[in-house]
C-alpha cells in the first residue's frame, strides 16, 4: 500500500519522533501550524475516523491514549487542541488516521 504514514511507521521514511510504543507513533508535523504541532498515528492502517468500526475502535483508543504522553513530552502544560480531519471537506490530505496535537500558544477560538 502506498501510504506515507505507513512508511513512516515502518521506519522507511524518517520523521522527528516524539513518542513510540508498539501500537502508535508520534512525530512533528513537517509543516507546523502552531509552535508545537505533533501528529499521532496508529501503526495499523485505518484510512480515517470515518472508517472506524466496533472492531477497529481500539485503534482510536490507542491514538487518544498517547495524547497525554505526547503533550507532556512537548511541554504542553497549559492545554492544547486535538484534531482529526476526515475526507475532502475535512481537508484530510493523508488517508491514514491521525490526530493533530497543536499547542504552545493560545489557539484561535474558531474551529472551522
Residues marked active site are found at: 98
Q: 28 with 37: CB under 8 angstroms? A: yes
Choose between 77 and 112: whose C-beta lies nearer to ligand AMP: 112
Choose between 30 and 54: whose C-beta lies nearer to ligand AMP: 30
Q: Using alpha carbons only, how large is the chain's radius of gyration in Å?
A: 13
Phi/psi at 5 (5° precision): -75, -30
> What is the distance between the terminal CA atoms of the chain, rounded to a whole angstrom?
31
| Contact flag: residue 4 with ligand AMP (CB under 6 A) | yes
| Contact flag: residue 97 with ligand AMP (CB under 6 A) | no
**Distance between CA 27 and CA 38 in Å, rounded?**
6
Positions in 19-38 near ligand AMP (CB under 6 A): 29-31
Min CB(81)–ligand AMP separation in Å: 13
In the complex, which residues of this chain contact ligand AMP (CB under 6 A)?
4, 13, 15, 29-31, 39, 85, 91-94
Amino acid at each position: 500500500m502506498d501510504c506515507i504514514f505507513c512508511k513512516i511507521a515502518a521506519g522507511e521514511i524518517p520523521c522527528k519522533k516524539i513518542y513510540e510504543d508498539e501500537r502508535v507513533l508520534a512525530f512533528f508535523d513537517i509543516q507546523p501550524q502552531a509552535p508545537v504541532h505533533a501528529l499521532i498515528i496508529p501503526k495499523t492502517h485505518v484510512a480515517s475516523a470515518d472508517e472506524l468500526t466496533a472492531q477497529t475502535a481500539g485503534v482510536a483508543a490507542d491514538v487518544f491514549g498517547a495524547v497525554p504522553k505526547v503533550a507532556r513530552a512537548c511541554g504542553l502544560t497549559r492545554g492544547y487542541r486535538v484534531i482529526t480531519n476526515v475526507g475532502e471537506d475535512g481537508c484530510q490530505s493523508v488517508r491514514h488516521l491521525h490526530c493533530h496535537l497543536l499547542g504552545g500558544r493560545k489557539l484561535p477560538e474558531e474551529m472551522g
